[in-house]
Structure 1
Amino acid sequence: MKWLFAPVPLGRVAAFRTLIYLFVAADLVIFTPWVRHHASTPGDLYEPLLVGRLLHLPTPTPLLVHGIFWALLVLALAAATGRAPRLLGWTVFALYFEWMVIAMSYGKVDHDRVGLLVALAVLPTVGRARHGDPTRTESGGWALRVTQVAVVCTYFLAAWAKLRFGGLDWVTSSVLARAIVRRGTDLADLIAGVPYLLILAQVGIIAFELASPAIFFLKPRWRNYAVAFFYSFHVVTFATITISFAPHLAAITSFLALEKVRPVVWVRGFLARRRGEVESHERPVV
């Protein structure tokens, strides 16, 4: 319990909250704008996920899809300011949850949104948090920790699924080769030409995903290196087979000391320095 509720600065929670809600807004217009096309998709093609069936969620209509889009866009931007964290937070979670049910109920289900959905579910439980506030909070620590657990589970359970359905033969299969044929880049074509390199990459992927829980046992400095490796893994993935995992990358920031990143303070400092330089140049020489 001490590990699960390890306190963190409120400033870290505030920064993480702002980043997550800004990502939700960006996701609507950059990463998943295609979900709006389901507004005109025939209703008989809608096969809701299990959770959609259990909750008796309605079949998407133009009014429902477009209404969720615009409401979620406005409310996510409002939530990013930190105001009304519980009311706006729960509302954004509910709307984004429905947005994801609509997105994933017509075929393929992406697994890169688990961490983001968990973050949206737990952030409203923290309450108010100001940027730069060093006060430590156990509720904020819990919110970040369960998000971290969701991030690691995404990796570990991906490996479990590979071995469950593909067995050890997955490691020596042509999974990456097929992915490169379908959506590979020029860099991927170069890599594919190296004998046995794709097999070694698949061994590395399984090893990395199975070992991902080890990040919880690392000291802070080494944990940062591990997070950097997580990001580099996804950079290579995008550079070779153009899969971004953008929502997952946003959730990974729960491992970082985001309170140290204060762009507003940097901008104010930069403007103050520029103003001082201008005034010094304009000051008459005696």
Structure 2
Amino acid sequence: MRLPVLLLCLLAFAFRADKPAYRLYTPALKSTSYAKLLRQAAEADVVLFGELHNNPICHWLEFQLTKDLQAIRKGNLVLGAEMFEADNQTALSDYVQGKTTSKELAVQARLWPNFDTDYKPIADFAREQHIPFIATNVPRRYARLVSRQGLSALDTISADGKRQVAPLPITVDLTLPGYKAMMEMMGGTDGKAGAGQHGSQPDMTANFARAQAIKDATMAYFILQNWKSGQTVLHFNGDYHSKNFEGIVWYLRQKQPNLKILTLSSVELSDIEKPEVDNRNLADFVLAIPADMTKTY
């Protein structure tokens, strides 16, 4: 009789009674709930959902948050996403307004490869519920231009192109920790590289960070352009663009210091019950997901 009891004890130790797909934490890594996330999101002016692009839990929770916020804020919810570029706004609006089909949208807009599985459910819900959906990201050709030639290259684009970018000149602070860390990871030095016109390694590294910054600045600009007092903008973006309260957050604060912003940062952990110290203060809510979660691509 002792063997079965021992076996049961071993099984209880090795396998948990439940296998949650995610956990939510406060900035101090105290366990919190979806109900608190929803309540605070409904009270915010802007909600920045920092996703991991290929993570199904992120996309599922984005969809749930969209549906629940619509139920609370109906008529006062606006959606926005990094995954749609500003010059594709007409195509996105036509689809959400029911004027075109998904096949026409695929022809008219530069959709991400995982659109059908990860973002179409949200776009279809916006279509069904008549929720405005904003294409907030800078057209990739302009980000690519900055990464190769520096910020001054934006002065050469057409007047129509400039309407698809945050107003020039765009301030980029390369000493901000996120941009500085990006440059250090790429082999840069101290975030004080030159103007980026000569093709040296420091300039190329700094220009790559500047290209990320104009994405942040442009997303912040179009969020503010489409937000009105009393509304909530729910924005989907890669985690890098809003974690540590930087990126999009920094640019929003430059224009609207009193804006009520809520951020969520997504992390993958080997044990979601034990968040790591370096996950502290990433966002107002930290979304912990098992590292072995299946991917959408």
TM interval, short-chain normalised: under 0.3
Q: TM-score by structure 2 length?
A: 0.27
Higher-Rg member (1/2)? 1
Which has a greater percent of helix? Answer: 1
